Structure 1
């Protein structure tokens, strides 16, 4: 009996040993490799451009430039936003973009506490990079990766150079702007005021023009009443240009006055063509859109890290009333 048990056990060991050797031999002689890791570059990125002025030609051009660059970069791209500077809807769009976990947000900067909270806290918590375009918010307030757009301080200086060429080095200037200026408008105003410091014979007066047509008309009326010798008007917000001109025309001729503004709004080209504006600062919205997408993709691909926090400046130039905007 003992011999039978020993025989059975030996037979089992022999069989198990045979199959073990066979399995090891197959493993050693087979050609195999680990599954290749999925490259993150193969995942199509998705970025969103958000503005509160979807209805303006300026922002349509920003969108066109961004969309063209997104196609070249093979990245998913959408334009979101609000109309007529509806800030509540605009901020809601920014929040939705962050909650939907897009890869990057390119946004018209909005120097408000609500926007800063979204940029500094929510975007940071989700790890979503933000690039401001056209309108900046200081990096210490927003933690944005970079800014793409005009040097607004230099734009103010350039506009003042044109005014000095037209008017000379003496006279009276009225600057019209909202009581709550956007960051870009404050920079423009600072650039103009700094340029005027070397011209003591020029007097500049800042008058708040509010945010509505009625307030803008009242501001123009007040300027004419209180400063009858005014030589030039500079409008920080071109959306108010037409109503201000109508108010001036109801009192006197437009012709004696020099009138200047910036190209952010929809009336710029038309007012220049009509000869009602003497000159305007023209920016490069298509270039802004394209460059912002390019820099976002460079950051997402770790090609340029960190991005230049000082920003990437696009071209500006003076367009006079006798010229034509493209």
Structure 2
């Protein structure tokens, strides 16, 4: 009898232990499933749409002309938009168009795994390699601002800035309106033309082509004031009967005018530029520049950040591959913006 009771007690103990073990397994399974559901659910949520991550976006604006009034305005617009969206924006740049340092900044931004890069486009193989290979393979979106590089060559997401083809057309139409349907026109370009310069030049030539009595002379000069002055001096020696100058690269206008003024009065010439910088505005107020294309650098900065944030959040996908053009206008002597 005692043996029977002892056996029943052992069976009851084993049953109790089994029930406890089973319950313990259920509890462990419950917490495991709960954790898995939480992890899985968090992966289903668009990370860019959460306010915490939205506020932690780190963007970088990179330019090779950090010390110019134009880029100061781009920076101002970009900073205002970043503050509006709660994003972090750093501005990196170089002085004096130091291309090696400029490219190094892009490479550092990629290695730093920033969320987005807004950059002044540079039409070189090195730039395209960084954006097309390194940035793309790291999943970092690139938006070019002010100066573009073709999308198929750079894999940039979009471009924000002036329509340089239309800008060239606008300044050429102003020239025809001022000068008439005949004359010799010098188109001063850089030795190594950027994509935006080629677009401007194409716009100019498209407008002037129907006028057979307008002769165009394309003159290549370096980027320094000394190089531009030298090219202008040589031109005036070889072709003294020039009627007009168009500084396709905006920073050439001052050097052209300075060199002309050493020889003769500037006023008889029709002179045009593409940027309302303090120098060109002063020259226009003095009557030495007849008209220029006024751009919208502050809007470029603001819109580039806005489009970058909207892409990162999925609100605007895809971005327009042709770009988003900011306002441009012809500003004539005696006019203000």
Same fold (TM over 0.5): yes
Residue of structure 2 in register with 1:64 after alignment: 76
> Is 1:120 equivalent to 2:121 in the alignment?
no
CA distance, structure 1, for counterparts of residue 22 and residue 203 of structure 2: 84
Residue of structure 1 in register with 2:275 after alignment: 263
Quick one: structure 1 residues 5 and 57, their matched pair in 2 at CA, closer, same or farther if it must change by over 3 Å?
same
Task: Identify unmatched segments of 5+ residues in structure 1.
Answer: none
> Is 1:247 equivalent to 2:252 in the alignment?
no
Counterpart contact for 2:276–2:293, Cα < 8 Å = no
Q: 1:192 aligns with which of 204, 219, 226?
A: 204
Quick one: structure 1 residues 266 and 239, their matched pair in 2 at CA, closer, same or farther if it must change by over 3 Å?
farther
Q: 1:164 aligns with which of 173, 176, 194?
A: 176
> Is 1:90 equivalent to 2:95 in the alignment?
no
Q: Larger deviation: 123-132 or 267-276?
A: 267-276
Q: 1:74 aligns with which of 86, 100, 105?
A: 86
Residue of structure 2 in register with 1:50 after alignment: 62
TM-score (norm: length of structure 2): 0.89
Q: Larger deviation: 193-202 or 231-240?
A: 231-240
Residue of structure 1 in register with 2:10 after alignment: 9
> Is 1:140 equivalent to 2:144 in the alignment?
no
CA distance, structure 1, for counterparts of residue 305 and residue 263 of structure 2: 48
Q: How many residues align?
A: 324
> Is 1:285 equivalent to 2:260 in the alignment?
no
Aligned residues: CA RMSD: 2.5
CA distance, structure 2, for counterparts of residue 315 and residue 246 of structure 1: 30
After the TM superposition, which segments of 4 or more aligned residues of structure 1 sit over 4 Å from their partners? 17-27, 32-36
Q: 1:323 aligns to what SS in structure 2?
A: coil
Higher-helix-fraction structure: 2
CA distance, structure 2, for counterparts of residue 227 and residue 14 of structure 1: 110
Q: Larger deviation: 77-86 or 256-265?
A: 256-265
Task: Identify unmatched segments of 5+ residues in structure 2.
Answer: none
CA distance, structure 1, for counterparts of residue 190 and residue 26 of structure 2: 83
Quick one: structure 1 residues 134 and 13, their matched pair in 2 at CA, closer, same or farther if it must change by over 3 Å?
same
CA distance, structure 1, for counterparts of residue 155 and residue 21 of structure 2: 62
